[in-house]
Amino acid sequence: MHQDTHPHTYDYVVIGGGTAGSVIAARLTENPDVTVAVIEGGPSDVGRDDVLTLRRWMGLLGGELDYDYPTTEQPRGNSHIRHSRARVLGGCSSHNTLIAFKPLPSDWDEWEASGAKGWGSVPMEAYYARLKNNIVPVDEKDRNAIARDFVDAALNTLDVPRVEGFNKKPFNDGVGFFDLAYHPENNKRSSASVAYLHPVMDERPNLHVFLETWAHKLELDGTRAEGVHVRTKDGEELLVRARREVLLCAGAVDSPRLLLHSGVGPRADLEALGIPVAHDLPGVGENLLDHPESVIVWETNGPIPENSAMDSDAGLFVRRDPEHAGPDLMFHFYQIPFTDNPERLGYRRPAHGVSMTPNIPKPKSRGRLFLTSADPSVKPALDFRYFTDDDDYDGRTLVDGIRIAREIAKTEPLAGWLKREVCPGPDITGDEELSEYARKVAHTVYHPAGTCRMGAPDDPLAVVDPELRIRGLDGIRIADASVFPTMTAVNPMIGVLMVGEKAADLVGAAHASGGAA
Ligand SMILES: Cc1cc2nc3c(=O)[nH]c(=O)nc-3n(C[C@H](O)[C@H](O)[C@H](O)COP(=O)(O)OP(=O)(O)OC[C@H]3O[C@@H](n4cnc5c(N)ncnc54)[C@H](O)[C@@H]3O)c2cc1C
């Protein structure tokens, strides 16, 4: 009774109107009798051309719509990586490149095998079919001549198939233009907010979106999540209450961050910072995953044609180990010289150029997110422990990547475009020196995940169970990239959207059966 008299009470409170949060809020409010509040730290993306135009994505990195998280010192990698995380409705789907891959069957089956019962490839297939995003292959008019020639050169170099529609069937290797979640006719995003929230935001009185409102602490009554404390744009402190459930969708950095500031996490760490322990949950912040990548850049003989969807429209998957489940090396092809990190080592950006960025689909290194202060405004520490796995699988993968990239670059029809290799440069050829280069200029594909990982109900390091309920708490689930038990071999956004769809199902089913989280 007490809850219902509180002014800011909703059936569900979704913390984070990002990729997964937008899906959940839209799905739950399909029922007009259900009320939902979305607490979103950023502004709306409606009418914002800078956000909605896909090809402008790079202009958003590091700007006012980016939380911009640094990493801790990375002794074997690049300590200067900035992890971009979007502060705007739609979350990272509003500033990413919208490359759209359904996770491979082997990705989901790995989740199921790790204890995520019900998340195998067969049951997950239905959630892909439900997605509202406009997922289409890069449009013909956006297919740049040099990207087409990269595809043909890879076909002429490697024993991989041409793929036209990476989501049509599972693959182990292949080269081709990506599927993107966009509208080719005007280059506008089909982000989570565009596809799920824009059509309903002004129509549904049962959906209330708090914009530029920051959630800083969960309200817990014993083990039950009652709501969340937020600070609005005007600096007002509010307690937003959930009659049924809180859904934490703040992403792989901010979901564990909010839990830790609410006293939910590893006891010793919380005590060391003087944060009162509400619930000792040792897995919070562990299992920090990412897709690290390196880069090889060529100067071209002259300017490249202008047309493109977002400057990285084609890519290549290789399976070096025939026993590996799915691809074990991926490349994005950029029709721009991507020298941001090499410039720190003294390389110069050519006026015209292209890049290939080999990345590690299934990296073995695991990192950790932790707090350094009890002050919620201090950014958490992200220690990815890049390239620290025991047998140096991750480092060796990038060296293989640079070697394969060089073979493709030597092959027509790409070779004729290229004037010289800018970095690492033709003199860098040995394994050791290639590895040193690859790791020092390493970048991220911007895929942090796994910090509140899902696992079996009796797995002590799991943060959520297979129904996404936080272990040991009531009335709260997590649904975003943080619940990934392992990294998908492919870019993760579609997987996150599917987590959102499944979460909405789980919440609906719980309510229908009279239960809750
Ligand atoms: C530059 C870039 C390019 C990428 N390119 C691709 C790609 O092409 N393909 C692909 O598959 N993946 C890509 N990714 C990754 C993909 O976008 C993310 O994995 C995915 O969008 C994450 O979704 P999420 O729901 O976990 O978090 P997010 O989408 O980040 O949502 C979190 C939301 O919560 C809000 N929030 C956070 N904390 C709080 C708080 N305390 N209070 C209130 N609100 C809060 C944020 O503002 C945000 O809106 C890219 C990522 C980046 C950054």
Task: Write out pLDDT tens, residues 48-85.
Answer: 999 999 999 999 999 999 999 999 999 999 999 999 99
Task: Give the per-residue pLDDT at 516.
Answer: 60
Beta-strand pair 82-83/69-70: antiparallel
DSSP 153: H
Calpha distance 279→258 (Å, rounded) = 13
Calpha distance 53→59 (Å, rounded) = 11
Q: Which atom of ligand 1 is nearest to the CA of 84?
A: 53
Q: Where are the domains of the chain?
A: 1-70+85-138+189-291+447-517, 141-177+292-362+387-441
User: Out of 83, 198, 447, 511, which one is annotated catalytic?
Assistant: 447
DSSP 446: S
Calpha distance 369→205 (Å, rounded) = 38
Fold agreement (1-70+85-138+189-291+447-517, 141-177+292-362+387-441): no
Ligand 1 centre to CA of 368 (Å) is 18
pLDDT band, very low/low/confident/very high, at 322 (cuts 50, 70, 90): very high
Calpha distance 183→51 (Å, rounded) = 14
Convert the pLDDT of each residue in 362-418 to its tens digit: 999 999 999 999 999 999 999 999 999 999 999 999 999 999 999 999 999 999 999
Mean pLDDT of 287-301: 98
Task: Give the per-residue pLDDT at 304.
Answer: 97
pLDDT at 3 over 70: no
Q: Helices 493-512 & 121-130, crossing angle to 10 degrees?
A: 100
311 ligand 1 Cβ < 6 A? no
Task: Give the per-residue pLDDT at 513.
Answer: 78
446 ligand 1 Cβ < 6 A? yes
Three-class DSSP category at 395: helix
Ligand 1 centre to CA of 16 (Å) is 10
Q: Which of 321, 454, 437, 337 is nearest to 387 (CA)?
A: 437
- Listed in sequence order, the residues at least 6 apart from 37 whose beta carbon sits closer than 8 Å to its beta carbon are 8, 10, 12, 13, 14, 208, 209, 210, 240
Task: Give the per-residue pLDDT at 239.
Answer: 98
pLDDT band, very low/low/confident/very high, at 510 (cuts 50, 70, 90): confident
pLDDT at 221 over 90: yes
Calpha distance 333→439 (Å, rounded) = 19
Q: Which atom of ligand 1 is nearest to the CA of 42?
A: 47
pLDDT at 4 over 90: no
For 128, 368, 412, 476, the CA distances from 249, given in Å and listed in that order, are 19, 19, 46, 11
Residue 394, Cα to own-chain centre: how many angstroms? 19
Closest CA to ligand 1's atom 29:
91
Query: Is 261 part of the annotated catalytic residue set?
Result: no
Please state, rounded to an integer, the average pLDDT across all residues of the chain: 97
Q: Which of 137, 139, 106 is nearest to 124 (CA)?
A: 106
pLDDT band, very low/low/confident/very high, at 5 (cuts 50, 70, 90): low
* Residues placed in the known binding site: 88
Ligand 1 centre to CA of 40 (Å) is 12
Three-class DSSP category at 326: coil
Beta-strand pair 264-265/279-280: parallel
Q: Which atom of ligand 1 is nearest to the CA of 57?
A: 1
99 ligand 1 Cβ < 6 A? yes
Query: Where do runs of H (alpha helix) occur along 225-317?
Result: 251-261, 267-273
CA 204, 205, 206, 211 dihedral sign is positive
Convert the pLDDT of each residue in 189-210 to its tens digit: 999 999 999 999 999 999 999 9
Convert the pLDDT of each residue in 472-509 to its tens digit: 999 999 999 999 999 999 999 999 999 999 999 999 98
Give kind and range of the element (H or E) at residue 37: strand 36-39
Task: Give the per-residue pLDDT at 1.
Answer: 39
Task: Give the per-residue pLDDT at 517.
Answer: 67
Q: What is the CATH number of domain 141-177+292-362+387-441?
A: 3.30.410.40
DSSP 197: I
Mutate to test the pocket of ligand 1, among 92, 357, 502 (most ligand atoms within 8 A of CB): 92
- The token duo for 475 is 């009335």
Ligand 1 centre to CA of 377 (Å) is 19
Mean pLDDT of 273-280: 98
Q: Which atom of ligand 1 is nearest to the CA of 492?
A: 11
371 ligand 1 Cβ < 6 A? no
91 ligand 1 Cβ < 6 A? yes
* Residues placed in the known binding site for FAD: 88
496 ligand 1 Cβ < 6 A? yes
DSSP 33: T
Calpha distance 179→139 (Å, rounded) = 9
pLDDT band, very low/low/confident/very high, at 2 (cuts 50, 70, 90): very low
User: How is domain 1-70+85-138+189-291+447-517 classified at the architecture level of CATH?
Assistant: 3-Layer(bba) Sandwich (3.50)
DSSP 196: I
Q: What is the CB neighbour count within 10 angstroms for residue 272?
A: 12
Ligand 1 centre to CA of 253 (Å) is 9
Convert the pLDDT of each residue in 94-151 to its tens digit: 999 999 999 999 999 999 999 999 999 999 999 999 999 999 999 999 999 999 999 9
Closest CA to ligand 1's atom 21:
92
Task: Give the per-residue pLDDT at 512.
Answer: 81
- The token duo for 48 is 């914002």
